[in-house]
Each structure stands twice: as structure tokens, then as C-alpha cells.
Amino acid sequence: MRPAMETGLHVDVDVDVEESDLMQILSHVVEEVRDSVGRDINGSDLLYGLLNAPWLQSLLKVYECLQQYLRSSTRPHLSYASGLSLEILSDLRALPYPSHEARELYTLLNEPHLQALLSAHDVVGLKDYEPILPPLPEDLPDDEEAMRIVCLVKNKQPLGATIRRDETTGEIYVARVIHGGLADRSGLLHAGDRLVEVNGHPVFGLEPEQIIQILAHSHGTVMFKVVPITNRPVNNQTMLYVRALVDYSPQQDPAIPCADAGMVFRRGDLLEIVDQTDALWWQAKKLPCSSACAGLIPSSSLLKRKQREFWWSQPYQPHTCIKTLSTVDEEDDILAIDVTFIEADEEAFESEELREDESEFSTNIEGIYLAGFRRSLRLCRRRRVHSGGSGLSCSLRCPSSCYSALANPYEEVVRYQRHPEDTHRLIALLGPSGVGVNELRRRLIEINPKTYQGATPHTTRPLKSHEEPGREYHFINRDQFENMAYNQCFIEYGEYRGHFYGTSVEAVKDVLTAGKICIIDIEPYAIDAVRTHELRAYVIYIKPPPLDQMKRTRVNSQLITSYYTTRSFKDEDFQEIEEAGRKMEQHYGQFFDHVIVNDGLQASCVQLLTAIRRAQDEPQWVPVSWIRPTVQF
């Protein structure tokens, strides 16, 4: 790095010696006057005494010091350092092949601390110290030492504090001060301060709504007379970052102390919890931070209580999941696109399967087999997960993510950057059936088979003559499969035509430990199984484009409908894809790390490549449990 850049504060060293050295001039004058005293000139005694007086000497020294300070005071070289830094960031972003130094500079300039420093620099440089508070009233009675007069200039923004009335005493108190709001920034109002007057109106005995009215009608400066709280609690909590797993709207929550101070959030939003002093209502900011002012959100325990209440208040809901999350019935909708397959017997489609297998081989790059794309596996994933009898059903019937969201409406997250020597993060693609998940995955692996690879699935189906164990599938018997399923070795599994198929964690780890990037497609219920410390999955949702766009781009595309039939897309297919996609986003959107709208295939591939590179090389928010043991909050 270069040493220091020249955008900082610098010292002006132009000193006007003649003008400055007042003391020297004065000593000449004193000399002259002393001569006059010697010559007995009238009044010279008096003048000599005055000039020699110690107080005048001291005053002159102070004057000289002030002059010196004015001359040497700092001045900004430029007053738009933060703007300049943003320009540099955008230029760096546009570099097609940024050098190591460019990347380092980008990281440095992107640091929130440096940005805050540059912004503070500009504020100081521009002397932008608004709002300027008016002087305190002069007629304050002497017996009010314990009071504090606080003048705030509203500037069209809310004051950022809430009040409450003590029902026994009728006193009004500041209930909470919103982090980053006007009151908080003034540093003069604190939770627990007793409010005595607002703009000269005594507030004792008033209803909080009446005080709000006084505030609403005051423009510009608002003057509070408060008795400060004696033992102010110290907020020594560390910063907490969470991902919201549920939606919240303060306007629809009658329990919130002040709806206007509340913050709306959607599942998947990243929140910075800036204050947890209150056990019920936290203060948070949405990331990336767009506003300096925090908002009120329900604490984790309050939200859990609300969820439980909601859950039990729905007598006709299947109590497998709460409403905000996936239910099994809805999930079936998500999976279904066209599960009506022709019930041919094994012999009848055996030859078709062979033909398809062969064509699958012929599309492959020499010596490289694309595992995990086989029709039987894909159709198996589309079908209902087998239930009853086999003992294999329960783990998929109710996704564990439902339980974890019920247990924790917020997921604590940390910023994580993969170390270059660590194995890659698993890339998990998902999307409504037919949107193009497999097409994108296949293209990606074909472009660079040395970097990307799928995981080889397991099956209980017998090996065929043209197959090799461990290449198309890991072939195992039913007992082994059930044993693996029982021991939760599978990310997901299902049944198709009497045989089980599944993708194991080990199969993914095999690819990762070989130094490759493993890319698989999953059904939404498997999200929980890949968001683990060992796989650290980066979940990419492939979203359908708008209907008319989807129709336009899929004119020549073929949809797999059964084992041996493909056909052109129909209008109903597009509608089903759109509907299934909407539900998937609604129920699982909180777990999507990235979304790609699969409009044009070429553009989607490029986006996928970029997203994967970012997932592997750039810092991302990941669950804290991946990095350190989970802390309950």
C-alpha cells in the first residue's frame, strides 16, 4: 500500500511574521516610552506603567496564542472524501481484472469504519454541525438544579423516543430512546428520565397521547424539562446480527408499544440488533444499513411466544408447522408439476431407459460422467416422498427447518470468508420443477468439469449391464439404504417405481475433498440438511421469469413428463411453474443466499458462475453455528 493519501487534513504553515509578532512591537513601544520617561514628557509615566502591567502582558500572551492557533488550524484538502471514495469503489468494481492492490484498496475503502471516518472528515471539513441549538432560557428558577433542559430541533424527523405513564403516580417517563434517532444523537435524553414539561406545558397527569399531540403541533425546536434518571443502565451488549426467519409488520401488531417506531422486516432480511436492553422489544437496523435510526422489533422470546399463540389459535391447522412456514400439503403442491406418469411395467421401459442412458453418455465430454442427472432420480424427486411402511418417511415429511424456525425466529449470523485452503462451499440449486435447474447445472459442469461436479447418488435399483458402481449410482441394498436413511446420511431421498434413490452427505464430501466445487439440486425440504457446518451450502434459487417472458424463451424447450416422454411446454406448465415458484419463495425465501431469474440461458449461466465465485471467495453472512457453537438468545 502507498503510505498516506493526500486527502486528509493538512497544516497551513504560512505565517505572517510582521503582523504576528505583536509582543515584539510592543516591547519597542515600551522602550520608546521609557526614553520619554527619562526626558520627563507629560503622561509618559502613566503609559509606561500601563504597558508594563502584568495583566496586559498576560492578555497579550493569550492573544498571541490564539493568533498562533488560528494560523496553524487544520483545513481539509478536499471536503468530499467520502464521495471520492465511492467513485474509486465504483471504478474498482468496473475493472475487468483487478490487481491484488486494487482488490486490497477495494476492501479497505469498503470497510464501514473507514467510510465512517471519511464521512466524519467531510462533516468537519464542511463545518456541517447542524442543528444549532438555541440558547437556554435565561429565567430559570434557582431551585431546579436537578432538572435538565433539553432543546431538540425536529428537522421533520421523529424525535426517536417513546414515553410511558406510571399509572400509580401519574408521572410521565421516557420509555425508550431509539438508537440513532434524534434524541439518542443529542445524548441528552435517556430511558427512565422523568418528563416534567414539553414546550412549557407541564405534563404531569396527562395521557401519553396528549403529550404526543403537543409534540405533533410543535415545529422546529422542542424544549423538554426532565429530571434525569439517577442510575442509568450501561448497555454493554455486543453487536448481534441475525437473519429473520419470519415476516413482521409493526402496523399489524397491536402489542407493539409504538407502531411508528417499529420496523417492518421480511423473512431472509439481515438485521443488526443494536439494543437488547428490553427483554421484549429489541432495536434493530436492516442491513445493508440505509438509515442511521433503528426500529423496534419483537425480541426472540416474544416472537416465539407470538408464534406459539398463533399456532394454538389455529384449531384446524395440521400442527406440523406454523402457518408462516411450509406445511406438508403445501409442499406437495410445490413439488407437483406433472406427476402423472404412464405406469409401464419394468420390462416395457427397460429398453427406453437404456436408450436414454446411452444418449446421456453421448452428450458427455470424453472420460467425464455427469452424475446425478438421471431421469429415474429426477422423477423420483418429483414424486411424493414415500410414507408409511418403510420407516423412511418421517425426516422428510416435516422439514426440520420448520422446527428450527419455530424454535428460533431469528438465526444468528456472522460474516464468513472461506479460507483458500478450506474445502469449497457446497452449491445447492433449487427452483420449481421445470424452471431449468438441471439445465443450468449441467451446462456449468460441462463448461468446466475440472472445477464443478455433481454428487453420485445412491440407489437400491439393480446395476445394469452398461453401468459401473459408483459412476451412475452407488448401488446398495434396501437394508443398507434404510440404515443410511435412519442414520441421517442422506441430504434427501425418495422412492420411484419401488426403488429408493438418495443423495448422501458423504457423496457431496467426496467431491469437496477432491478439491472441486460440488453442485447439486435439492428440493426445498432438504435445505436444512445442507445448511450445516460441514457442507456450508450456498443456496441459489432459480426463479421463473414473468409468464410472457417464460413462454417466449421456452418455445423450443422440452419438459420431462414421465420416464420416456418429453413434450413441449403448455400454458398450464408455465402457470404451474410460476405458482410453485411463488410458494417456494414464500415458504423458503429466508434461506436463499442468491436468486437468479432464469430468463435467457446464457445470461443465467454467467450469473450462476459469478454467484458461485462470490460464494467461494467473498465474505458472506452464514449461521453462527457453522463457525462456533450455537448460543441461545
Ligand X SMILES: Nc1ncnc2c1ncn2[C@@H]1O[C@H](COP(=O)(O)OP(=O)(O)OP(=O)(O)O)[C@@H](O)[C@H]1O
Which stretches of the chain bind ligand X, using CB under 6 A? 378, 382, 431, 433-439, 553-554, 557-560, 598, 600-601, 604
Residue 225's closest CA among 203, 240, 208, 245? 203
Closest residue by beta carbon to ligand X: 436
- SS3 for 535-600 is CCCEEEEEECCCHHHHHHHCCCCEEEEECCEEEECCHHHHHHHHHHHHHHHHHHHHHCCEEEECCC
Which secondary structure element, helix H or strand E, spans residue 85, and what is its range? helix 81-94
CB of 556 to ligand X, least distance (A): 8
Output 443 or 614, the one with its CB closest to ligand X.
443
CB 454 within 8 A of CB 373: yes
Output 518 or 542, the one with its CB closest to ligand X.
542
Output 160 or 434, the one with its CB closest to ligand X.
434
For 275-291, give one letter per residue: b (16+ CB within 10 A) or e: bbeeeebbbbbbeeeee
The three cell numbers locating residue 590: 429466508
Output 570 or 628, the one with its CB closest to ligand X.
570
CB 230 within 8 A of CB 201: no
CB of 532 to ligand X, least distance (A): 24
Task: Identify any residues that bridge with 503 across adjacent strands, giving them in sequence order.
Answer: 492
CB of 563 to ligand X, least distance (A): 12
CB 383 within 8 A of CB 336: no
CB of 160 to ligand X, least distance (A): 48
CB of 430 to ligand X, least distance (A): 9
CB of 601 to ligand X, least distance (A): 4
CB of 554 to ligand X, least distance (A): 5
* CB neighbours of residue 258 within 10 Å: 19
In the three-class reduction of DSSP (H, G, I as helix; E, B as strand; rest coil), residue 616 is classed as: helix
Output 194 or 554, the one with its CB closest to ligand X.
554
In the three-class reduction of DSSP (H, G, I as helix; E, B as strand; rest coil), residue 495 is classed as: strand
Half-sphere exposure of 219 (CA within 13 A, CB side): 0
Output 296 or 520, the one with its CB closest to ligand X.
520
Q: Kindly report the backbone phi and psi dihedral angles of residue 5, in degrees, each rounded to the nearest multiple of 5, phi listed first.
A: -85, 160
Output 174 or 435, the one with its CB closest to ligand X.
435
Residue 385's closest CA among 346, 335, 321, 345? 335
Output 236 or 556, the one with its CB closest to ligand X.
556
CB of 604 to ligand X, least distance (A): 6
